[in-house]
Structure 1
Amino acid sequence: MGKIPLLKAMKHDRWVKPFLKRYKWTLVLAITLGIITFICAGGLMFTAGYLISKSATMPFNILLVYVPIVLTRAFGIFRPVTNYFERLASHNWVFKMTSAFRKKLYDSLEQDAVFFNSKYRIGDILGLLSEDVAHIQNLYLRTIFPTLVAFGLYAIIVIGMGIISPLMGILMLILFGLIIIAIPVWSILVNGARQQLEKQYTNTLYADLTDNIMGITDWVFAGRSAEYLSYYDQSEQHLLASQKAMKRFEHWRDFVLQVMILLVVVSLILWGAARFGGHWGGSANWIAAFVLCVFPLDEVLSSLPTAAQQTNVYTDSLNRLNKLPQPQSVTAEKINITAPYQLKIDDLKYRYPQTDKMVLQGLSLNVKPGEKLAILGRSGAGKSTLASLIRGDRKPTAGSVTLNGVPTDEFGDQISKYIGIVHQSPYLFNTTILNNVRLGNEDASEEQVWQVLERVGLASMIQRLPKGLHTMVDEAGLRFSGGERHRLSLARILLKDAPIILLDEPTVGLDPLTEEQVIETFMEQLKGKTLIWITHHLQGIEMMDQVVFIENGQISMQGSPDDLQKTNSHYRLLKLADEGN
């Protein structure tokens, strides 16, 4: 039950098998060195046991223990040496695998980033980046690696004992088979389901806790904070109960495992007494040698049941990861277009993936170089979707969005050279003001940064700060007000000097006075650039060359502010309502 889902998931897997194939020779080297390490450990105990027992009988000639002394020294040296090189090989393999694995995961998430709000919860992303990555790493380190080492040792033990004594070889085949195969399968059947349930509880806690923490203010204002804490405590109790049941089973399973190892030791004692009992004074020597070489194997054998029961958890992680889109390895060709920059939207239609809702239905616009265009519409009208299509973040369902005849979705990261954007909530990183502004141009000098800060009206304020440009902005830019964050975002755009600027409702959440000041700063500093302003109300609309209203995914009104004011009664009513009249 526990093993079949993993094998089924691995059959069409795109996340584990590729890395096993890519770094297979490093893995083979690490496993080989791991097997040799345990052979040296067993050989050391074997020769040491024989040597100690033989020396206790006071041999009449030192030559009788010379060979065991040499072998003890050799195994004693080779064991740490091979163990050291095994660690180097395995860690080299793990670091290579982890680096490539994480890059592939980030590429996949970045490729799907524009659909996060519609496809993922933030807690799901945290689960992918922390829980699932850790589980896949453990699949390599705690399951695949020790299992292959154990089976390699299993084959050597059975073949070796079978050559010495066929009956003893069969007995070792059975006993070690129970330890290496039966007990791990037992763990899968009993504890694997509990472990899978534990992961589901953990994923739920990730998602629910993240969701509720982000809305904790609403819980408090609603007077239900105690209810929230009670709900979270109840979910946590389920997780703790599952973990307690797992621990209880693990204690019994480990006890059975040690009993099985004891049976191996006892069988070796009895076999040694029967096999070597006829040799005077030699029985104890060989018994000690064979028995002691078993104990180093306990290290690899004791980890197998735990590794096996993890397979259900790995299955869940594999399924979640394989639902992500495969990163595209296509490298975008370098696109060079020159001014004047003509943005054209032709019969644009867009439907969200996996839905039947057509957000945009046949939009056509021709944005001339240097033109200032305002796009308005109620919430859900498709304004932000249009912004993503203009930026090339999404691909049209039908129709096209082109810049100088080239579809914007073909530019890739090169689009930032031509189209800059100011979002509703500009994000400031927890680093210096200098680094935040240089996000627009990392090669900009401090003098250039001061110039753009002067243009957006922040230079004098930042000069008064104790460390000036090197002042930390704090997490999410909490040091600055909403208007200041928008001005810093504009400073980035000015430093980038893109010819087309997209303002995606940049004044949402600002008070009327700050909003007016920010709009005036934007219009003054962006003179000569093509400006596309997506907004939901008409504050400052007189400064635009053209106004477009979107309703139900289509253009319902279009024209200059003056023309619409003179000829369109609906526009006049909207203007009066927006002004509060």
Structure 2
Amino acid sequence: MKIFSLLKNDTWIKPYLTKYGKTLVLALFLGFMTFFCGGALMFNSGYLISRSASLPENILVVYVPIVLTRAFGIGRPVFRYIERLTSHNWVLKLTSELRLRLYNVLEKDAVFFKDKHQTGDILGVFSDDIDHIQNLYLRTVFPTIVGWLLYAVIVIALGFFSWFFALAMLLLLGVLTILMPLVALLVNGAKQEQQKQIKNKLYGGLTDNVLGVSDWIFSQRGQEYVSQHDAQEGQLRAVNHELKQHENLRNLLVQLVVAVVTVVIVCWAAFQFPGNHGGAANWIAAFVLVIFPISDAFTQIPGAAAETDIYQDSLSRLNDLSTDEAPTKQETVADPKQLAAGLKAPFKLAVNDLCFSYPDGRRNVLENIDLSLEQGQKLAILGRSGSGKTTLIHLLRGDLKPVSGQITLNGVPVSDLGDEISQFVGVIHQAPYLFNTTVRNNLKIGDENATDEQLWQVLERVGLAEMIRQLPAGLDTPVDEAGQRFSGGERHRLALARILLQDVPLVILDEPTVSLDPVTEQALIETFVEVLAGKTLIWVTHHLQGLSLMDQVIFVEDGELKLNGSPAQLAAENEYYQKLLRIDRGSF
């Protein structure tokens, strides 16, 4: 079975089976004792009823069964309660470790996630996969193991009375614990795989279409999408209906097998313990009644097996993710906080012989890059789409580690600074995001302790103070969802105000003017340069407007530096740059 192969080669779950092995064994033991007490309670009760009905000569004759009935009656709910606490505690420990590991893996791989997965995949990983792993143990593994333990104990115990009858129970109970689970797994497998594929398609399709809903509306094909989605929902409902029918049929067959087992035990007990009143006949009710609480353990197993296929995709997806872990114990890892505390102005950013390739290793995205920026210098990075500009920015922020070479801030590798890099590097993206809250709260993302006076100061510097004062509630005015109250240029200025509050020495502008008109673009560039004076400025762009304000210009093409120099020097001496200028001005 595929599930067994996945569990055998699993690198996500198996390490924690050993780590929390004692709790796992305790949970299984308590689960076994729950059913054992339930069976023993009915066994003693059956004997007690029969023995009492035969007019015992003395109350002491039934005293022991009375005490045992009380003990097992109390023990069953107690063991059940403790088993639930223990098993759920074990599973919650496991899933919390899995979630932490999943977040760490995805954070490392976040830059390239969309290159390898659809947006809907991440929703599937977080919303389904970890929950599926949790259910795999609570609803499949634990009930199955407990059922198998009871199966073995019952067959062995009956062997002391009759090996022939023990063999008969081995076969009959084997139908519930082995045969029917295998049949359920095979019959439901294809339908569950179909159900899973439809669900995954709905996940990806719904996410994709919601993100592009405006295009559906503008093309006047909204109803077509709704019809398409309804058709997929209809397919899912049809598959769910078939699975429900299979489940009902399976439950009917399970109950029929339990009925057959009960009849067989009645016949065997009557033959094994003959008599009219009292004596051996008192054991007949004991053996017959015990089947009812014990059968609950066996009737769960076919249903648990039927759900197994649901979890296969989750295990596969988790194990297909990158499993790179933290550095080995032998490596000495510096504390990012200590590294950050040792960095003092002026700050020098150095890129030395930098090479980087994607995880698939097909080619180097960046190769042999060398740069040096002193405090306060302004650098423009030019290049076509896909030339490696964005990757270079992620490397400069320490989000990625070079394959070879180094990027250092005052001699400290930026990748070693971890989250502390935010003390030194700020980024303004193409489309700065404003949250659906007040202007004040959006600005305080830069510094949550900023006073109103500081907020007005940075708004004044970015040219928005007068406009904000005219809003209905000033700083407490809601910005609306995604900042729709403001224009593109105003959103960029608010993002700049955040950076000023953050007060970082190095600011990266990742094509912030790409969607603006030329007049707004030029005014915004001039604002950036003026307001960020004294800070190191790295501006990623794809055309040449405003480059005269920069100290240095580099052009990245096919992962290499095509040109490097000051704007004036390149305009006077470099033919390639001169050609780019003519193209940008439309005079080529």
Q: TM-score, normalised by structure 1?
A: 0.90
Corresponding letter in the other structure for 2:126: L
- 1:346–1:365 Cα contact (<8 Å) kept: yes
Measure how far apart 1:318 and its partner are: 1.3
Measure how far apart 1:130 and its partner are: 1.4
Corresponding letter in the other structure for 2:400: R
Q: Distance in 2 between matches of 1:165 and 1:282?
A: 19
Q: Which residue of 2 aligns with 1:488?
A: 494
The answer to whether the aligner puts 1:221 opposite 2:227 as a matched pair is no
One of 149, 152, 168 as aligned partner of 2:149: 152
Q: Distance in 2 between matches of 1:463 and 1:97?
A: 52
Measure how far apart 1:265 and its partner are: 0.7
- 2:50–2:278 Cα contact (<8 Å) kept: no
- 1:272–1:283 Cα contact (<8 Å) kept: no
Q: CA separation of 1:139/1:445 partners in 2, compared to 1, >3 Å: closer, same or farther? A: farther
One of 392, 401, 406 as aligned partner of 1:395: 401
Deviates further, 437-446 or 75-84: 437-446
Q: Which residue of 2 aligns with 1:427?
A: 433
One of 343, 346, 349 as aligned partner of 1:343: 349
Deviates further, 147-156 or 47-56: 47-56
Corresponding letter in the other structure for 2:66: I
Measure how far apart 1:56 and its partner are: 4.6
Corresponding letter in the other structure for 1:149: V
Q: Which residue of 1 aligns with 2:512?
A: 506
- The number of equivalent residue pairs is 578
SS in 1 for 2:369: strand
SS in 2 for 1:43: helix
Q: Distance in 1 between matches of 2:437 and 2:312?
A: 39
The answer to whether the aligner puts 1:138 opposite 2:135 as a matched pair is yes
Corresponding letter in the other structure for 1:531: L
- 1:332–1:412 Cα contact (<8 Å) kept: no
Q: Deviations over 1:459-507 (max 9, x none)?
A: 5655666776666655544454433432333233223322111111122
Corresponding letter in the other structure for 1:367: L
Measure how far apart 1:432 and its partner are: 5.5
Identity of aligned residues (%): 54
- 2:383–2:556 Cα contact (<8 Å) kept: yes
Q: Which residue of 1 aligns with 2:422?
A: 416
Q: Which residue of 2 aligns with 1:314?
A: 311
SS in 1 for 2:160: helix
Measure how far apart 1:133 and its partner are: 1.4
Measure how far apart 1:106 and its partner are: 0.9
Q: Distance in 2 between matches of 1:230 and 1:33?
A: 51
- 1:48–1:289 Cα contact (<8 Å) kept: yes
One of 404, 411, 421 as aligned partner of 1:405: 411
One of 181, 186, 189 as aligned partner of 2:186: 189
Q: TM-score, normalised by structure 2?
A: 0.89
- 2:380–2:547 Cα contact (<8 Å) kept: yes
SS in 2 for 1:549: strand
Q: Distance in 1 between matches of 2:94 and 2:452?
A: 40
- 1:378–1:536 Cα contact (<8 Å) kept: yes
The answer to whether the aligner puts 1:546 opposite 2:543 as a matched pair is no
Q: Deviations over 1:432-472 (max 9, x none)?
A: 55554444445555655554444434556556667766666
Measure how far apart 1:183 and its partner are: 0.9
Q: Distance in 2 between matches of 1:446 and 1:163?
A: 84
Q: Deviations over 1:264-311 (max 9, x none)?
A: 111111111112222524576433222222112233322211211233
Q: Distance in 1 between matches of 2:98 and 2:359?
A: 26
How do 1:68-467 and structure 2 match up within 5 A? Answer: 68-278=65-275, 280-281=277-278, 285-330=282-327, 331-334=333-336, 335=339, 336-354=342-360, 356-430=362-436, 433-442=439-448, 444=450, 448-449=454-455, 451-458=457-464
Deviates further, 561-570 or 212-221: 561-570
Corresponding letter in the other structure for 2:39: G
Deviates further, 139-148 or 53-62: 53-62
- 1:150–1:180 Cα contact (<8 Å) kept: yes
SS in 2 for 1:164: coil
SS in 2 for 1:302: helix
Q: CA separation of 1:464/1:78 partners in 2, compared to 1, >3 Å: closer, same or farther? A: farther
SS in 2 for 1:392: coil
The answer to whether the aligner puts 1:67 opposite 2:64 as a matched pair is yes
One of 13, 16, 36 as aligned partner of 2:33: 36
The answer to whether the aligner puts 1:518 opposite 2:532 as a matched pair is no
Q: CA separation of 1:235/1:460 partners in 2, compared to 1, >3 Å: closer, same or farther? A: same
Q: Distance in 1 between matches of 2:478 and 2:161?
A: 73
Deviates further, 109-118 or 244-253: 244-253
Corresponding letter in the other structure for 1:401: I
Q: Which runs of 5+ in 2 are unaligned?
A: 328-332
Corresponding letter in the other structure for 1:200: Q
Q: Deviations over 1:523-562 (max 9, x none)?
A: 2221101100001223332322222233333333433333
One of 536, 543, 553 as aligned partner of 2:542: 536
- 2:95–2:133 Cα contact (<8 Å) kept: no
Q: Deviations over 1:201-224 (max 9, x none)?
A: 211221122112212222333343
Q: CA separation of 1:304/1:451 partners in 2, compared to 1, >3 Å: closer, same or farther? A: farther
Q: CA separation of 1:41/1:458 partners in 2, compared to 1, >3 Å: closer, same or farther? A: farther
Q: Distance in 1 between matches of 2:468 and 2:31?
A: 59
SS in 2 for 1:270: helix
Q: CA separation of 1:275/1:426 partners in 2, compared to 1, >3 Å: closer, same or farther? A: same
Q: Distance in 2 between matches of 1:491 and 1:415?
A: 19
- 1:501–1:532 Cα contact (<8 Å) kept: yes
- 1:104–1:327 Cα contact (<8 Å) kept: no
- RMSD of aligned residue pairs (Cα, Å): 2.8
Q: CA separation of 1:466/1:86 partners in 2, compared to 1, >3 Å: closer, same or farther? A: farther
Q: CA separation of 1:383/1:170 partners in 2, compared to 1, >3 Å: closer, same or farther? A: same
Corresponding letter in the other structure for 1:171: A
Q: Distance in 1 between matches of 2:139 and 2:236?
A: 23
Q: CA separation of 1:572/1:87 partners in 2, compared to 1, >3 Å: closer, same or farther? A: same
Corresponding letter in the other structure for 1:278: G
Q: Deviations over 1:243-274 (max 9, x none)?
A: 23222222222222111111211111111111
- 1:273–1:283 Cα contact (<8 Å) kept: no
Q: Which residue of 1 aligns with 2:330?
A: none
Q: Which runs of 5+ in 1 are unaligned?
A: none
Measure how far apart 1:126 and its partner are: 0.9
Q: CA separation of 1:466/1:326 partners in 2, compared to 1, >3 Å: closer, same or farther? A: farther
Q: Distance in 2 between matches of 1:575 and 1:413?
A: 39
Measure how far apart 1:184 and its partner are: 0.6
One of 497, 501, 511 as aligned partner of 2:503: 497
Corresponding letter in the other structure for 1:239: L
Q: CA separation of 1:265/1:466 partners in 2, compared to 1, >3 Å: closer, same or farther? A: farther
Q: Distance in 2 between matches of 1:442 and 1:199?
A: 44
Q: Distance in 1 between matches of 2:452 and 2:474?
A: 11
- 1:373–1:532 Cα contact (<8 Å) kept: yes
Measure how far apart 1:232 and its partner are: 2.8
- 1:341–1:404 Cα contact (<8 Å) kept: yes
